[in-house]
Amino acid sequence: MKYWLTSILAFALASAACGQRAAPPPDRPADGGPALAATMQFIQEKLSQQGQVGSAEILSNGVTKRNYVNVSDVMADPAACTLYTTEIVDSTTDLPKGQVLKPGFSIEDLHTHIVETDTIPFRQIEKITVEKLEDIVNQKYSETAHPEIKAAITPPLFYVNLWASSAVFSSHTSTTKGKQGAVEKDSTNKNIGITIRDEDTANRVAKAMTHAMELCGGGVTKKDLF
């Protein structure tokens, strides 16, 4: 699953088509709420303070996955209304008791190392939610035709989920399994998210992101006026 579960082009193309430069977002809302720069700085600090977040994903088929997620190199750019993050995920799989590896496989093949860099444009975000990571994982198993598999994640983790109606979130992922060479992939997505250690922090980050989204002009589906 992508805990690690997209460079923004639409806004730049629209600006170029009009022959105008995009106006910078207001630094402070009319109601006197936190300034955009302070809000983006808060998001950057909270994500950077997370450190490595570890959990065990215990599956109903007897398999246990041990995941360690670290969000690093977080940079919030208020002038561009954009958040840049790097997420490093190390995952190992514990086989069910009594099960052995197939010939030709080693214990190293059960380890996956992922480095994902993401670009998150707040102008294009339309919705932000906070969900239990366990619910996200189980939904993914169901969507991939494995509804019989149920996961329990301990300790409980939370996921700040960001949504848009078009693929505006860009990601570059480098995946290494065992001794195999790294596989590089670039993608754009309508949905992206960040794993958070506790519910209170997840809610505070989501609230700050919602405020930044609104200051940057996001939060609503863009529609033709005429």
Residues 6 or more apart whose Cβ sits within 8 Å of residue 126:
163, 164, 165, 218, 219, 220, 221
What one-character DSSP code corresponds to residue 178?
Answer: T
Q: What is the pLDDT of residues 16-39, one digit of tens each?
A: 333 334 444 555 555 557 899 999
Answer whether 153's CB lies under 8 Å from 63's CB.
no
Nearest alpha carbon to residue 152 among 173, 138, 170, 166: 138
Average pLDDT over residues 126-139: 96
Residues forming beta bridges with residue 70, ordered by sequence position: 52, 88
Q: What is the pLDDT of residues 157-208, one digit of tens each?
A: 999 999 999 999 999 999 999 989 999 999 999 999 999 999 999 999 999 9
pLDDT of residue 18: 34
Average pLDDT over residues 35-64: 95
Nearest alpha carbon to residue 41 among 87, 82, 75: 75
Q: In degrees rounded to 5, what are phi and psi of residue 43?
A: -60, -45
Q: What pTM was computed for the model? A: 0.80
Our CA angle for 223, 119, 197, nearest 5°, is 110
Q: What is the largest CA-CA distance in the chain?
A: 67
pLDDT of residue 29: 56
Peptide bond into 147 cis (omega under 30): no
Nearest alpha carbon to residue 24 among 34, 32, 35: 35
Judged by DSSP in three states, 31 sits in coil
Count CB neighbours of 216 within 10 A: 24
